[in-house]
Structure 1
Amino acid sequence: MEENHTLYMDFNSQNKFMSETVEQPSDLIIPLRYQKEWLSWVLKQEESIARGGILADDMGMGKIVQAIALVLAKSEIGQANSNSILLSHALYVLPAVKGTLVICHVVASIQWVNEIDHFTTIGSNKVLVYYGANKEKDIERFA
């Protein structure tokens, strides 16, 4: 048990990552502030054994924008042939991203689509809302 605790909860390392920042993705047109620290942390978290995390703060704090920033950052990294990113003098290799699945309530999907349209450059991404009784079952559409 102590071994697992050490793998996932190295608080000294976490504090170090929370003071690092990374430049925001070029297709995100809203300026990130404190979210640059979060983006740096979550990109590093994607490389850890635990992978991922939970965005759990008050409404209106920018969780969707943060998630969009992560999706765009990973997409940008995937488009670069090296698949690496420099975070405060340390090089991290990230897996290429082919797509992102967001599962949420219908009302939240409307918010996601609106924020993607509002805060990203036109044509920088494709969005498919998969909902309803008559949804397509065409694998080519998902590709």
Structure 2
Amino acid sequence: LRYYRRHKALQCGMGLLFSIIAAFVPKSSLALLLVMLLTELIFIVKQSAFDGKGQFWYVETSDGARVVAVKSGTPAAKMKLVPGDVILECNKVKISNADELYQALQKNSAYCHLLVKTMDGELKICESALYADAPHEIGIILFG
């Protein structure tokens, strides 16, 4: 968003400046308009390249609970969970949202076994012991 905001501020500034120039030098209007169009085209190409990298790990999922963040030093960090992973099962219980994940964690308060789908679509199994004093604290922030 910061890049988009900067680009739009640049476009507005250029538009204002070019409008003033075109008012005093009407023959330059076409050239100035072409410069504006060229900068917009460059922005579109850059934005498409960024979007093409597929960094959309923050979108909602219809199956499982998507990991948004992982706290360091927690069981989730030890299991090498990363933002974008989708937790499909916890302790052999199918998960469709964060509430179901925490309910499944309560079934075995000492151990966590997860089936996770990565951003690449690969399935991986993650396992870790949980904190004895806080079995609900796995160390992830979820979306969904």
TM-score relative to the length of structure 1: 0.22
Larger-gyration structure (1/2): 2
TM-score relative to the length of structure 2: 0.22
- Bigger share in strand: 2
